[in-house]
Chain A
Amino acid sequence: MSAVTAGAGGVRRRVAGRDFRVALVAGGALVLAWAVVAAFWPQLVPYDPLRHDPLSRFLPPGPEHWLGTDQFGRDTFSRMLAGARPVLQVAPLATALAVVAGTAVGLVAGTFGGLVDEIVMRLLDAVVVFPAIIAAVLFVALAGRSVTVMVLVVAGSFVPIVARSVRAATLVEREKAYVEAARLRGERPWSLMRREIFPNVGTTVLVEATSRFGDAIFAAATLSFLGLGQPPGSPDWGASVSDNRVWLQLAPWTILAPALAIASLVVGIALVADSLRGRWEAS
């Protein structure tokens, strides 16, 4: 905490506090809204998002179809709502997996140091260097396109990032006096790691989790865009942008709807993450 007490500084702080709440509430509302949609879209959609209608292809937005229809006459609005579910399945699962695994790896490497650290970090380099695209192609070929495959691919590519941050924070903590004291008391590395270091790198872990969550949504959308995401025909945002982009001039609604959906969700998450990060870092 900085020692600002006076004048302008104090006013700024209060303003920042109000901003913090505004950002948190706005972001939280966006995320919550999409979460509700993801959970209850079957009750919310006006049409079956998979249903073709050859007689209503490329209809512009109107009272019948609020956001128009696509190449097969499918309802764009319904597909946009239904598309929330796969994203909100993949992103949290992938983030959780990456944060848990990355934290464990980073803690171990940072606490034990020496050869352990060296080996672990070089292995992580190999993971970073192994192209995620190859992993995606491989998994899709072997297991088909599914949420599970996307979770594994996205989580796999995030583990080294999380591990590096946690390891760096661990290295910093390790040199602090309280850890030194515990070590002199004769605490074993494992319990040192669990009882002394882990609670103090918690902020880093939380910051990583919030950053990765936004990135995971992005990564999932990109995989879908490349045709490595959900099964074909699924109402998936990234895939919809990819499939429809050739018609942007003719039927812009088919691409703007999923694009805005991705953007609003990521913005919502970023707002929440930013405010939380600000608070954690301040405390």
Chain B
Amino acid sequence: MQESPHSAPRSTPGGPGGPGGPGGPGGEALSRLPGLSRLPGLSRRVFLGAAGGAALTGLLAACAGSTGGAGDTASAGGGSRTVPASPPGTPKTGGVLRAGSPPPPTAVDPVTMYDGSAIAIVQLVADYLIWLDRDFKLVPRLAEKWESEEGGRRWVFSLREGVTFSDGTPLDAKAVKATFDRLLDPKSKSAAAAAFDSVLAEGGIGVRGDSTVVFTLERAFSDFPYLVSAGNYNAVILKADYAGDFTAKPVGTGPFLLESYDASSGAVFKRNPRYWEPGKPYLDGVRITFYADDQADLLALQSGEIDTQILSRPALVGPLKGLGGIVVDQVQGTGLTAFTLRVDQAPFDRKEVRQAIAYALDRPGVNAGVYDGIGALGNDHLFAALFPAAPPDVPQRAKDPAKVASLLAAAGVEKLSFALTYDPPSKDYALTVQDQLKQVGIEVELDQRTSGDFYGGDQEKDTPWLFTPANLVGWAGRAVPSQFVIPMVKSGGVWNGSKYANPALDAATDAYDSATTDEERRTQAAIIAKALHEDVPVIIAVWSGTVRAYAGERFTGVAAHPSSYVDFSSVSRL
């Protein structure tokens, strides 16, 4: 199980494994996970790109392919599955897993959380209707099965019997309804509300008896289960009387109980004896220690003070594989760092200039230097090879200095120089881009902001991440490509930082969304991908993967997840 220090990326046991897959998290250096860290050079708090983004709105057009059986009616039996690499024989019980993570930047509140640490803390204590697996499959959790009625306009979820909250209250349909009512209530300020935009409105949730929840949608939507799964990470099921004080009164149906929480130092969890899945979790408890600095986190792992990390950065842990028994689990994903160019402003209003930059990048070099080689090459369109609808016939773009020169000449640009704006998690990526462009004579001035600055301001007017001429934004892996396409490149998309507007692409996006066959979906996907590849509003050099490092001689069952989610219910001592 151990790796030698410089071994090539290895596939994970039981992982999805497709060859070219890509990755997870968002930030470049990704901070651990989907994330983005925010301090100047210091912390890496991260934030998960929501799976449901605002605009995502209805979109998730899903390539249901990747979701396997999730479509119209999925059902499932006992449902647990989860972690690969489970140990042969009966797992040992007992023991405490010590994990390191950055301190959550804000109070931990499931309704508004967005950073990887808070999400992990909540996921240990509370559960979703449906879990999102490491290969993006939907796995039944609190919902045992679900099916659509009226052609996808109504969705009926049957809850698992015999589940109780940690305070002894039985889980019932009312708690589930209250959970989604809360997310949709503007007063709760949840970003998840945006994910339901135009799909599910306030008042759309009903109950049938104690164990059936009915969602009546605004319009037919075949990928609705994704919106109520872990993919929409705020959607953990909480009690009806939840009042925003999660760390004071942590009540959930998850595998662990939160015993104590301190914003400065960490959190202590013990086994939930009422957990619904028989025999699990194997561990007696989990202790999370906060490290305000990811280097301190990693040194703690090396010194044996912790057993695993909630959020591992590929570039940091990759070179340490095998040293001191450290094992690095790795999974393909669909995370990316978007190198966005504003198409409505000089010099990037010329398509040739944008293409020139795309041809100047040495993508394998980015992958090696920033992601420790675990990512997959990107081709400047938003269809990762992991997405079943990905068009196979767009030629892979590669570094071509002659082409850079001729494109710049065609655009009449003699000497190209520009400022690249980003926040600390994207630092390694920015340095790499600066160096690579310099080699073809393009000068890049790095404009590093704090995360507070970069994401501050008004998203309709002036926020740097959507309004600077060239910037880097990390995105967590998403289950379906529409979750990228609609907000990022469709005309008027909420996070359309390039200001790209292409009616043909808009039409294809809508058609993709409402397509009923895989064939039709692939046709529309090809149109979208070719437009993006040609027009280059966003450069995608690499699809990142995610990793999780752990002490392989002490524990088994620790696994990476494309969104760096945690499920420690199957972790056991060796």
- Nearest A residue to B294, CB-CB: A246
Chain B count of residues within 8 A CB distance of the other chain: 36
B41 within 8 Å of A (CB atoms)? yes
Digitize A224-241: 1 where CB-to-B-CB distance is under 8 Å, 0 elsewhere: 001110011100000100
Which residues of A, 243-271, contact B by the 8 Å Cβ criterion? 245-247, 249-250
A249 to B298, CA, bound (A): 12
Residues of chain B within 8 A (CB-CB) of A246 are 294-295, 298-299, 316
A72 touches B323 (CB 8 A): no
Residues of chain B within 8 A (CB-CB) of A233 are 430-431, 434, 446
B432 touches A227 (CB 8 A): no
**B interface majority secondary structure:** helix
Min Cβ gap B489→A in Å is: 28
A72 touches B298 (CB 8 A): no
**A interface majority secondary structure:** loop
A129 to B302, CA, bound (A): 38
Min Cβ gap B184→A in Å is: 36
B431 touches A242 (CB 8 A): no
A213 within 8 Å of B (CB atoms)? no
Residues of chain B within 8 A (CB-CB) of A228 are 40-41
Residues of chain A within 8 A (CB-CB) of B368 are 54, 57
B40, B315, B320 interface centre (most CB from chain A within 10 Å): B40
**Contact among B302, B315, B449 for A71, CB-based, below 8 A:** B315
**Contact among A137, A231, A242, A250 for B323, CB-based, below 8 A:** A250
A226 to B43, CA, bound (A): 10
Residues of chain A within 8 A (CB-CB) of B453 are 141
- Nearest A residue to B449, CB-CB: A141
B319 touches A51 (CB 8 A): no
Digitize B6-36: 1 where CB-to-A-CB distance is under 8 Å, 0 elsewhere: 0000000000000000000000000000000
Min Cβ gap A42→B in Å is: 15
**Contact among B298, B427, B435, B450 for A51, CB-based, below 8 A:** B435
- Nearest A residue to B317, CB-CB: A246
A227 to B448, CA, bound (A): 11
- Nearest A residue to B43, CB-CB: A227
A57 touches B369 (CB 8 A): yes
**Contact among A141, A226, A242, A250 for B5, CB-based, below 8 A:** A250
B369 touches A54 (CB 8 A): yes
**Contact among B41, B435, B438 for A227, CB-based, below 8 A:** B41
A7 to B29, CA, bound (A): 68
Digitize A28-53: 1 where CB-to-B-CB distance is under 8 Å, 0 elsewhere: 00000000000000000000001110
Residues of chain A within 8 A (CB-CB) of B364 are 54
Min Cβ gap B303→A in Å is: 10
Min Cβ gap A102→B in Å is: 29
B152 within 8 Å of A (CB atoms)? no
A87 within 8 Å of B (CB atoms)? no
A140 within 8 Å of B (CB atoms)? yes
A58 within 8 Å of B (CB atoms)? yes
- Nearest A residue to B445, CB-CB: A231
B436 within 8 Å of A (CB atoms)? yes
A144 within 8 Å of B (CB atoms)? yes
A232 to B41, CA, bound (A): 9
**Contact among B41, B299, B428, B434 for A242, CB-based, below 8 A:** B41
A71, A137, A227, A232 interface centre (most CB from chain B within 10 Å): A232
Min Cβ gap B69→A in Å is: 41
A145 within 8 Å of B (CB atoms)? yes
Task: Kindly list 17 other residue pairs between chains A and B, CB separation below 8 angstroms, not including A50-B438, A52-B431, A71-B315.
Answer: A52-B365, A52-B369, A52-B435, A54-B365, A54-B369, A71-B428, A72-B432, A73-B369, A141-B450, A141-B453, A226-B40, A232-B446, A232-B448, A233-B430, A246-B298, A247-B319, A250-B5
Which positions in A face B, CB cutoff 8 Å? Answer: 50-52, 54, 57-58, 71-73, 137, 140-141, 144-145, 226-228, 231-233, 239, 242, 245-247, 249-250
A sample of 11 inter-chain contacts (CB < 8 A) reads A50-B438, A54-B362, A54-B369, A72-B369, A141-B453, A232-B427, A232-B448, A242-B41, A245-B295, A250-B5, A250-B320
